[in-house]
Amino acid sequence: MNTVSESIPALLKFFKLTRILNDEPEKCRLTLLGTLPGSWADKTTILNSDERLQAIVRLEKTAFVTGCAEELFHPDDAVALISGTRLLGSTDIYSWLSGWMSPTVSMQKQHGDVKINIVCPATEVHVKKYSKQLSILVQETPALYQHIVEPFISRFPAARTQWVTEILEGRAEQDKILFASEEVIILPDMKWDLHTIGSLYLVAIVRDPRLRSLRDLRGEHVQLLKNIRDEAYKVTGDRWAIGKGGLRLFIHYQPSYYRFHVHIVNGNYDSGVGMIVGQAHLLEDVISLLEINSSIFEVVTLTYGLGEQHGLYGSMKAAQALV
């Protein structure tokens, strides 16, 4: 087992991370950053080490928890109860692991009790993204897209999507890829624990860098979108026996990163805020709209929520008086 944490008394709130980029991992102190909507599984914490390094650590309970009372999973104590972990995967700054709550069970049970998501080193942009925040609904007209949003996307730092580049260019996560073609790859999303079929979560990432978001889609991309849909069902059907109608395929706008991708999720899974109206656009609906009007996403006004920490929040909020 690739162990990156050790049992530590709950009151100390220390978390030993030996694979994170840190010279003195035993000095990492966990402090509460905020709570995202939902259960304790959405608890977000920030890890600081002598102000030289920070990481965001998120815990998600899996379906394999046994022998532990529910109160043991209180968010304030969950990290300290983790006795061992196994690395599931990593990219440039993102890592995700399985965690076990009991050392006596760790070697006997194939899957962990929790999934641990780590962003390290985390920038202030990451901290803002995962912090609890208020949001407003904005209406993005084609004019506002051209004057505010498109310039923002164009300035989006390449470093923020380096992990995508590493995957697409064959330097990371190649053993996780479920489907690959000249147009797209499909692989598990880091949100998924790789075991619980009920929360299956994959992502299809398009190779063409010119496709950044929903706004860039035109009629010529309909066949690409249909190919993604068909391959998603083929992959999940062959591996997990998920049939027609068993998947929810959607596109975020605004997305968290500007390299066009489609979320592929078990149709029975509710991932909360990521599926709400105003952010998630069903792939089938997008295909239908493009078949009706090949330039629909160039001319349509899109309404969506923006958190107060988002880079577009200030300028889009101010622009609403002009819509």
User: Which domain-ending residue is among 130, 149, 179?
Assistant: 130
What residue numbers bound the domain in which 48 lies? 10-130
User: Which domain-ending residue is among 72, 102, 130?
Assistant: 130
Q: Are residues 86 and 147 in the same domain?
A: no
Q: Are residues 196 and 280 in the same domain?
A: yes
Please tell me what DSSP assigns to residue 27. G
Q: Are residues 234 and 312 in the same domain?
A: yes
Number of structural domains found in the chain: 2
Q: Are residues 105 and 90 in the same domain?
A: yes
Report the CATH number at residue 276: 3.30.428.10
Query: How do residues 253-308 score in pLDDT, each as one tens digit?
Result: 999 899 999 999 999 887 766 788 889 999 999 999 999 999 999 999 999 999 88
* Catalytic member of 261, 263, 281, 310: 261
Q: Are residues 170 and 303 in the same domain?
A: yes
Q: Are residues 112 and 145 in the same domain?
A: no
User: Which domain-ending residue is among 110, 130, 150?
Assistant: 130
Residue-level pLDDT at 26: 39
DSSP string for 232-255:
HHHHHHHHH---TT-EEEEEESS-
Query: How do residues 218-236 score in pLDDT, each as one tens digit?
Result: 999 999 999 999 999 999 9
pTM: 0.75
Whether 4 is covered by a domain: the verdict is no
Whether 313 is covered by a domain: the verdict is yes
Q: Is 74 a catalytic residue?
A: no
Rounded CA separation 85/34 (Å)? 24
Average pLDDT over residues 66-89: 48
What's the mean per-residue pLDDT of the chain? 75
Whether 5 is covered by a domain: the verdict is no
Q: Give the percent of the chain with pLDDT over 90.
A: 43
Whether 1 is covered by a domain: the verdict is no
Q: Are residues 103 and 212 in the same domain?
A: no
Short-list 214, 206, 185, CA closest to 287: 214
Backbone angles phi, psi at 166, to 5 degrees: -60, -40
